[in-house]
Structure 1
Amino acid sequence: MKFSTLIGVFAASALAYLPGEWSFPSIPNSNGLFGNPAGLSAFDSPGGVLNFGRDKDDVYEFSAGFNGDYLGATFSYHSDYDDVDESRWNLIASLPMLDRFAFLGFSAGAFRSSDFHGTDFSATPGILIRPFQWLALGFDSKHAVQFGPEKQRRIQEYGATLRVFDGLSVSYAGENKETHRLLVEANLGFLDLGVQIPIHGDDEYRVFASHAFGRSFQGTLAIDDDWKPRHFSVGYHSAKLADPYVLSRVVRVPLSLPLTETEPGFSLFGRSSMSIESLREHFDLLLADKSAQLIIFDFTGYKAGTAISKEIERGIAKLNLQGRTTIAYLDELRPTTLLASSAATRIVLEPSARVNYRGVGGEVLYYKGFFDWVGIKVELLRHGAYKSAVEPYTADSMSAEARENYTQLYTEWWNTLTADSRMRISTTLPLDSLLEHPSLLAKDAKRVGLVDTLLYLDEVAPYALKTIYGLDAPFVNVSDYAPRAGVRIFDEDWRPRSKIALLNIEGSIVDGVGGYDPLTGSRSTGSAEVLEALGKLMKSPEYSALIVRINSPGGSAQASDEIWHRLHTISQTRMPVVASIGDMGASGGYMIACGANEIIAEKASIVGSIGIFGGKVSVKGLLDKLKLRMEPVKTHPHADAEGQGREFSPEEREALQNYLDAFYDRFLDVVTGATQLPKDSLDRSLAGGRVFTGSQGVKNGLIHRIGGLDAAISEAKRFAGIPESRPVQLESLLSDGSYLSRSLSDQIRLLDWVNSVEKTQVWALFVSPPLPF
């Protein structure tokens, strides 16, 4: 059989069957690279393939190809070292349409042969349609356009694939009116089998046997009807195969990297943290890999806030529902590790671990006495008696309003944070006694029921196998399952996939461009970059909804207002917007959330702080003590109002207070519009700088519902009219697509920060309360 005929057989047999969408990354058509070009973007995983073999006529073949999401390239060569010497090159492009309901494709190829001089060029258009999640239809017109010394035969290829059920599919393919064939493919667990059955025409039976090697590679052996193995293929995919293993395994999931909402840019010292998106992708991989039956979550060195801890708890709970056994290993016991591990089948504590179960406390340092001593006067005005962030600079001690709010907040926050771990214990009396008579000893944590046993890490797997499965295996092998960024599951779903945009608002909200501060390790989000991203979103037809993920204590009032306005416009005119609050959505962060159609927060999220403050620092007294003098030069009496060399005049103080009052009134209008709470009662009992937990926020109407990112995705789908069962793609609008470029931008922001140190910082929204995060 000629190599060109063999390629045709491969191509036609995979016309309608979407290459790579099932368990066959290397068959029957080499990732779709040599067949229907419309299947390329349906493939949904960049990768590559190598094919080699020998047919019955002793023609040796070699082919290779690689593909991205929308572009691909192939090369093939065959020769019998005598009469046959042929080579082909192809460039392939394809485009998904209508939420991946249909795929248009195009292939441009070049063909050279020893039978003629010169090069033949041709173009092949193709289309692939998925009318249902169990049916795919395909068509292409091979060599529809061509020119060169030797005209190649035009072939109209068509086909359909029917997924009978998960793991079994039947495909029909035809060429013109002359050749018809079936391809039956089945998953047998450790082996995938495909059988090509000729119906009409000059075709042969062929059997494909395919097996996964690890999570990215798959090898395929093709056996002809003379029962000789003649062709072998190796395929690679960047998306990971969900379940390439058969035997049950014991795996350890290390959680030592700091877990954050987003990851900073490029670092010469390697990866310094892991984002919530990477963590969720890792749980998706664990949920899809049924071979991981005993999973040890190693919380050694764990650093994360309450929102991410809750996401981990939900992920562990999902694994439990699948019948997995989950073990949490802690090297320190504190509220966030208890929250993250509370859904585990067993909680194990290291014997010498330190126990921190004493409630929630915080300290506020007051500077006014020191400033008075050195001659610095901080002039800060506010609207809201509970807006206590200004008090350390203007008062000697905490106000009654601030103490009342923080005491209520801390009590509710503690109860919310520990509720899940308390549910594991039949009686909480010993646990309550631990709060009155604290102990740092691990044995006391076991005594009161916070943990199940005390062991070192190497003892955990044998303990779990012995106590849960009755297996005595003191030297069991445990494989690491380290979370990685950008891991995608090999997607086998033929349903349409709508896109939902994700916008992260993290850290302080600033005017202009935000970034990562190398001095403090903190993030900030700038209004300019957010507005630019949202401007592009409004022009893009590809997204069905927007999720705004907020983890911010607030910041610039004007920046917060600008972002709120843009989100409100989008939610009212362009697409549904859902706000998902992580650890904190306070002050300006909460104002931004009010631009969404719905606000979702965790039970332990910090929300509210509806208020504003502003002012400046005057160093006149200090300069006088140092015998220094600052002389202003100005065109008008109040031109130096923001200068540090003098205090506010009565007129300037009144002007600033009027601005704060007006913005506060505007803030109330924004919250009233988002929550439908009456403005008067909002001002009287919920605003003025008061801070609440997410649980309190739901009760008082500031928050619509409790939940994490999964709940936000479900609500976004509901608002957008996307069926709950339909998968969606979550795409970040402010992702660090280029770590290097983002890092260079961060260095520029550092220089801007250094230059701004000498400038007067006039005013900003709420700075986070002194919570022990």
Structure 2
Amino acid sequence: MEFLVDYAEFLLRTVTLVIALIVVLAAIAALRSKGRSKGSGHLEVNKLNDFYKALRERLEHSLLDKAQLKARRKLEAKTAKAEKKAGESRSRVFVLDFDGDIKASATDNLRHEVTALLTLATAEDEVVLRLESGGGMVHGYGLAASQLARIRQAGVPLTVCVDKVAASGGYMMACIGNRILSAPFAILGSIGVVAQLPNVHRLLKKHDIDFEVLTAGEYKRTLTVFGENTEKGREKFQEDLEITHELFKDFVARYRPQLEMDEIATGEVWLGLAAQGKLLVDELKTSDEYLAERAREADLFQLHYAEKKSLPERFGLAASVALDRVLLNWWNRLNQQRFW
């Protein structure tokens, strides 16, 4: 019994610390919002073919003698001249990156990148998204997925590459791709919904501390951290989770109708090798391998929308990222996630 009391006190301290951090971040966010100038960002465009060419030429200079280098450059010039004379046009590949946190913060940049590429991209082009995300908030990843859906609606082929993880909200984004490529040991799936929170009501009651929750609307607040939770509130909370899960499954089924939804929408995750057998991915291949192949026959353009941030904004962003990492580590421990 003494152990439970000690644990409850430790939990209360932890919750208090988290609340304090949130208050600090809210203050920082307020500072960030002051004086923020709209439209201060800019789109960066890098031609990845030049990157691959620089790698190849550096290796050639190290391994080939002068005669071999001269012959190779002459052949390249001749080939380029022939292509130009024949009027051959190379297809274009627009490369995007999405590194997702709990809040899907990268959506702020993704939306501008998608808007930009859709002004030029056609059905003859391709968009490649290098995706890494373990999921997070429903509304954040719902918006991120909607940005990718714009590409599909415009009739531009979308290829999603997963090198490490695309789970939960991350897979919600990945499933929109016309093709999903995965590294052999990437983590995919987790088509499920989860929510959990501690409750310290009994501890407060033991120390004669009252905590009142006032609401207008029967289900304005179902479960709380400090108040007394009821069975009716739990049932409503569970009902909301089930509704969200059904919407999640319907969304995935719309873009991946080949999936056996009852079999894969259990919240489980699979490594790339097994995920291919479940039809969660179409091919086992890393993004490096795929882009290097496409660079031989197409022009690759990496797009990145960069927002110019002031010092308070950069400080606030760093603090937010740090908190995300703390929460993610805590989440992983609670769920006993395995690491290799």
Match of 1:288 in 2: 57
CA contact (8 A) 1:565 1:595 kept: no
Distance 1:647 1:591, change over 3 A: farther
Match of 2:157 in 1: 576
CA-CA distance at 1:687 after TM superposition: 2.4
CA-CA distance at 1:292 after TM superposition: 1.8
Distance in 2 between residues matched to 1:728 and 1:592, nearest whole Å: 25
Distance in 2 between residues matched to 1:627 and 1:531, nearest whole Å: 50
CA-CA distance at 1:542 after TM superposition: 5.0
Secondary structure of 2:194's counterpart equals strand
Does residue 1:673 correspond to 2:254, yes or no? Answer: yes
CA contact (8 A) 1:601 1:694 kept: yes
Match of 2:147 in 1: 566
State the one-letter code of the partner of 2:168: S
Distance in 2 between residues matched to 1:283 and 1:607, nearest whole Å: 29
Match of 1:732 in 2: 303
Distance 1:600 1:505, change over 3 A: same
CA contact (8 A) 1:695 1:706 kept: yes
Match of 1:682 in 2: 261
1:141-188 CA distances to partner (integer Å, 9 max, x unpaired)? Answer: xxxxxxxxxxxxxxxxxxxxxxxxxxxxxxxxxxxxxxxxxxxxxxxx
Does residue 1:535 correspond to 2:115, yes or no? Answer: yes
Match of 1:702 in 2: 280
Distance in 1 between residues matched to 2:55 and 2:322, nearest whole Å: 44
Match of 2:205 in 1: 624
CA contact (8 A) 1:549 1:581 kept: yes
Distance 1:714 1:686, change over 3 A: farther
In structure 1, runs of 5+ residues without a counterpart are 1-276, 295-491, 515-524, 718-723, 757-763
CA-CA distance at 1:584 after TM superposition: 0.7
Distance in 2 between residues matched to 1:751 and 1:284, nearest whole Å: 38
1:680-699 CA distances to partner (integer Å, 9 max, x unpaired)? Answer: x431x322011111111112
Distance in 1 between residues matched to 2:247 and 2:304, nearest whole Å: 28
Name the structure, 1 or 2, with higher relative contact order (CA <8 Å, separation 6+). 2
CA-CA distance at 1:662 after TM superposition: 2.0
State the one-letter code of the partner of 2:99: E
Who wins on radius of gyration, i.e. which is larger?
1
Match of 1:506 in 2: 99
State the one-letter code of the partner of 2:276: V
Q: Percent identity?
A: 20
Task: Name the structure where strand makes up a greater proportion of residues.
Answer: 1
CA contact (8 A) 2:91 2:298 kept: yes
Distance in 1 between residues matched to 2:276 and 2:147, nearest whole Å: 25
Distance 1:278 1:571, change over 3 A: closer
Secondary structure of 1:613's counterpart equals coil
CA contact (8 A) 2:48 2:302 kept: no
CA-CA distance at 1:625 after TM superposition: 4.2
Match of 1:661 in 2: 242
CA contact (8 A) 2:222 2:236 kept: no
CA-CA distance at 1:771 after TM superposition: 3.5
Distance 1:533 1:655, change over 3 A: farther
Match of 1:749 in 2: 317
Distance in 2 between residues matched to 1:647 and 1:555, nearest whole Å: 27
Distance in 1 between residues matched to 2:214 and 2:323, nearest whole Å: 22
State the one-letter code of the partner of 1:748: G
Distance 1:550 1:689, change over 3 A: same
Distance in 2 between residues matched to 1:769 and 1:602, nearest whole Å: 23
Distance in 1 between residues matched to 2:56 and 2:283, nearest whole Å: 26
Secondary structure of 2:63's counterpart equals strand
In structure 2, runs of 5+ residues without a counterpart are 1-45, 65-78, 325-330
CA-CA distance at 1:553 after TM superposition: 0.8
Task: Name the structure where helix makes up a greater proportion of residues.
Answer: 2
Distance in 1 between residues matched to 2:339 and 2:182, nearest whole Å: 19
Distance in 2 between residues matched to 1:687 and 1:616, nearest whole Å: 23
State the one-letter code of the partner of 2:101: S
| TM-score, structure 2 as length reference | 0.65
Does residue 1:771 correspond to 2:318, yes or no? Answer: no
Match of 1:693 in 2: 271
Match of 2:70 in 1: none
Distance in 2 between residues matched to 1:635 and 1:565, nearest whole Å: 32
Secondary structure of 2:270's counterpart equals strand
- After the TM superposition, which residues 191-590 of structure 1 pair with which residues of structure 2 at under 5 Å, given as runs? 284-289=53-58, 290-293=60-63, 493=80, 496=89, 498-510=91-103, 514=105, 525=106, 527-538=107-118, 540-541=119-120, 544-590=125-171
Distance in 1 between residues matched to 2:286 and 2:62, nearest whole Å: 25
CA contact (8 A) 2:47 2:299 kept: no
Distance in 1 between residues matched to 2:285 and 2:315, nearest whole Å: 36
Distance in 2 between residues matched to 1:643 and 1:626, nearest whole Å: 18
Secondary structure of 1:659's counterpart equals helix
CA contact (8 A) 1:496 1:726 kept: no
Match of 1:633 in 2: 214
Distance in 1 between residues matched to 2:95 and 2:310, nearest whole Å: 18
Distance in 2 between residues matched to 1:706 and 1:611, nearest whole Å: 24
Distance in 2 between residues matched to 1:656 and 1:746, nearest whole Å: 36
CA contact (8 A) 1:557 1:588 kept: yes
CA contact (8 A) 2:223 2:234 kept: no
CA-CA distance at 1:509 after TM superposition: 4.1
Distance 1:564 1:625, change over 3 A: same
| TM-score, structure 1 as length reference | 0.31
Distance 1:549 1:752, change over 3 A: closer
Distance in 1 between residues matched to 2:338 and 2:203, nearest whole Å: 32
1:592-637 CA distances to partner (integer Å, 9 max, x unpaired)? Answer: 0011111110111111111111243322133234543323333345
Secondary structure of 2:159's counterpart equals strand
Larger mean CA deviation between 582-591 and 651-660 belongs to 651-660
Distance in 2 between residues matched to 1:580 and 1:749, nearest whole Å: 27
CA contact (8 A) 1:578 1:712 kept: no
CA contact (8 A) 1:603 1:695 kept: yes
State the one-letter code of the partner of 1:292: S
Distance in 1 between residues matched to 2:322 and 2:91, nearest whole Å: 44
Distance in 2 between residues matched to 1:607 and 1:754, nearest whole Å: 25
Distance in 1 between residues matched to 2:233 and 2:288, nearest whole Å: 48
State the one-letter code of the partner of 1:503: L
CA contact (8 A) 1:634 1:640 kept: yes
CA-CA distance at 1:646 after TM superposition: 1.6
Distance in 2 between residues matched to 1:742 and 1:281, nearest whole Å: 32
CA contact (8 A) 1:618 1:644 kept: yes
CA contact (8 A) 2:121 2:156 kept: no
Distance in 1 between residues matched to 2:203 and 2:177, nearest whole Å: 47
CA-CA distance at 1:580 after TM superposition: 0.4
Distance in 1 between residues matched to 2:217 and 2:190, nearest whole Å: 36
CA-CA distance at 1:750 after TM superposition: 4.8
